[in-house]
Amino acid sequence: MSEIKEHIRAILTELGEDPDRPGLQRTSERVEKSLRFLTQGYAQSATQEIGNALFHETHNNMVLVRDIEFYSLCEHHMLPFYGKAHVAYIPNGRIVGLSKMARVVDVFARRLQVQERMTDQIADALEAELHPRGVGVVLNAAHLCMMMRGVQKQGSSTITSALRGSFLDDQRTREEFLRLVHGAR
């Protein structure tokens, strides 16, 4: 039995459960499998996910992928937070395959996280890999640690942003990005 399974069994016992009762007999195994999947981002990198999907192109206007679903685990309570990522960049002679932007989001979502850091990690990775004129990232998420426990505010959401290059320095670029992200659906 792996150490994770042993620890899950011990947690179940500490909670007053019998880890050998029919409904819990395989719970420690399922929890381990789930945690390994939900934290697979530790074994991944943006560089690996982007791979050779960089293409020389003269396009020099904003590229935005909106509404990228993501699921992560809060590092403070190990409860899920989930939402949508909106990721944009302005090319500087190279573009990236659109699906790779979603994959970069998943690299950082599949770790124990705080939303603020995850937002910066996505922006920093795209900046490092693409060398664009600018990057903008907005995450909008619901946190079960706020909804199920603590303040128990089910309707709350958290929005974070990271702006780099022209998204930070050029007010018109920033406004266009935010309008496209938050505009009519």
Catalytic residues: 74-77, 115, 143, 145
Neighbours of 40 (CB within 10 A): 13
Torsion sign across C-alpha atoms 168, 171, 172, 175: positive
β-strand pairing of 63-74 with 112-113? parallel
Q: Please, are residues 160 and 154 in contact by the beta-carbon 8 Å criterion?
A: no
Q: Please, are residues 142 and 83 in contact by the beta-carbon 8 Å criterion?
A: yes
